[in-house]
Chain A
Amino acid sequence: MRDAFDTVNPIVAFVFFAFALIMPMLVMHPVLLGISLACALAWLFILRGKRAWGYILKFALPVMLLTAVMNPLFNHAGVTILFYLRHNPITLESIVYGVASAGMLASVVLWFACFNAIFTSDKIVYLLGRFAPSLSLVLSMALRFVPLFSHQAKRIAQAQRGAGMGTRGGSILARARNGLSILSSLITWALESSVTTADSMRSRGYGLHPRRSFANYRFDGRDALVGGLLALGMLCTALASYFKLIGIRFFPSYKANEATPLFIAFCVIYALTLLIPVMMNSIEAYRWHLLRSRI
């Protein structure tokens, strides 16, 4: 099934991801990091199902472990010395900081996993096409060339095999030589056909119009709603950081804000903002459920 957030206008989606990715890096408050991590995980499980475990085990966990271990070993700042390891003080603050930065990295990695699922190449080309038309054209052409080249490589290999110069038989050296000759003719073909493509583009009037993209996203009422909620969340974040609600200090001694009612209110707002995609999915699922139950 298509994710509910997938159909949102790419500009709104991009702002959402920018917010979700930059916040953990800017404010390494443990509570906010936990919220960010939980929201990213919830969405990732909706997006990928069981395959989300692969992301967690392969990308997030190693990064977390590395950071959490490395920081206390190399960072000796902080006033609360727990013990000495080969004359180097291991401090409570650096351990806390290591854990916090591990959480930060994990949430960034998981948000990027969601980003990869949502931001397909056509959206990137759509976003870039406005202010970098040439680059986005190169991007979309390169993306198309990759499968084209592998297809052409197969065709060349088949032809070579028909001529008795395949990569299946013969000594290793002969096979390598035949493989290289396949690569060589592939490259020549690719370069020549690129010029043909360019001529064809030119004769169809490339460069006369401003760039337009294949996918045309409208900015509809739902985009406005999502964008408005997002803007509200970002405004609250800016206000919270202006009034020093979410400040945190690790060195020389750890100091975070106490759980004042205002801080808790901000946490709720932050969580709701990051949960926009998850909420959209559940609304969609609920609507589907209603439709089905009516039949």
Chain B
Amino acid sequence: MQKEFAEKPNTAAARPEPAADERVLAAERLRARQAAEEKKRRLIRRIVSAVLILVFVPSVILVGLLEWHDRQFYIVSMLIIALSMVPFFFMFEKRRPRARELTLIAVMVALGVAGRAAFYMLPHFKPIAAIVIITGVSLGSEAGFITGALTAFVSNMFFGQGPWTPWQMFALGLIGFLSGILFNDQITTKLKLFLLCAYGAFVTVGIYGQIVDTQVVFSSAQNVTWEMFLAVYASGLPVNLVFASATVLFLLLLTKPLLNKLGRIKKKHGVFR
């Protein structure tokens, strides 16, 4: 890719001046090739990130569990969670995102945080997960992960950081990432909306709830037992169900208008395509 960029002007200059329509054709061909390359690169990036999340992270967790199975559960699990976020952030930094992408992600993060603050009187009834899911659906899995993780981090800057921060960041990021993989932004039929809501309910209970509750288990036990997990999950279930119902409600309300608005911005300004 880089090499072609460098060579193209040289060869053009060396040759005698071509006719005008020929130059237009050449430019078009170049553009088409660039588009194809861009598409290929995006595909590769998607595969790499999918491999990272589906292979790298579980293997890190597995190694951690096998190597340190009876020592320092808490700190090791926290380190694993924090480290498993590094590849995502690294890849995001590495591709040097455009200013428009950054500001758009910042807006979605701020909406999530403001949503958490706006519903302060209803504990655990927050639109955070819904906004992260919609972001993942519309802007892609990478933006979904970044938005989810940063929403958790920034909202904890208002509500207090703690040992739970990395867990929440990872859980919300994962939700955004998966929604970007599983759905595209054509949520047109009622069936698709229903599927999205079902997905939202499932991930808030099954992923967010479990990950954050796991932190509670690890925080208090040296010999983690299955009964302990069950007890903590059972006691966390009501909270998770409230969060899930909030997510479903906000998905029903927000999916269509937000996807419309984001789609319009994407089309009008040519970002995240």
Contacts and interface: CB of A to CB of B under 8 A. Distances in A.
Contacts of B162: 59, 108-109, 112
B117 to A, nearest CB: 7
A263 interface: no
A22 B96 CA distance: 33
Contacts of A138: 102, 105-106, 109, 146, 150
Contact of B160 (A71, A105, A116, A141): A116
B96 A134 contact: yes
Interface residues of A, number: 61
A282 interface: no
Contact of A75 (B72, B158, B222, B253): B222
A43 interface: no
B113 interface: yes
A37 to B, nearest CB: 15
B219 A22 contact: no
A63 B96 CA distance: 41
Contacts, number: 155
Q: Which of A22, A70, A134, A139 has the most CB of B within 10 A?
A: A134
A71 B221 contact: yes
B106 A145 contact: yes
B103 interface: yes
Contacts of A119: 161
B104 A191 contact: yes
Given A121-B157, A198-B102, A187 B228 contact: no
A121 B155 CA distance: 12
Majority secondary structure, B binding face: helix
Given A74-B227, A105-B220, A195-B265, A146 B114 contact: yes
A188 B261 contact: yes
Contact of A149 (B97, B114, B219): B114
Interface string B221-262: 111010110010000000000000000000001000110011
B74 interface: yes
A184 B261 CA distance: 9
Interface string B86-105: 00010011001111101111
Interface in A110-164: 112-113, 115-116, 119, 121, 124, 131-135, 137-139, 141-143, 145-146, 148-150
Given A198-B99, A206-B99, A190 B107 contact: yes
B103 A141 contact: yes
B269 A71 contact: no
Interface string A47-85: 000000000000100010011001100110100000000
Interface string B49-92: 00000000000000000000000101100100000000001001
B170 interface: no
A278 to B, nearest CB: 21
A115 B161 contact: yes
Contacts of A22: 75
A187 B225 CA distance: 46
Nearest to B266: A191
Contact of A134 (B72, B93, B163): B93
A184 B253 CA distance: 11
A149 B150 contact: no
A142 B78 CA distance: 25
Given A71-B220, A139-B154, 8 more contacts: A98-B220, A115-B161, A116-B160, A135-B146, A143-B154, A146-B117, A187-B111, A191-B104
Q: What 3 A-B pairs have minimum CB-CB distances, sorted nearest first?
A: A145-B110, A141-B106, A142-B109
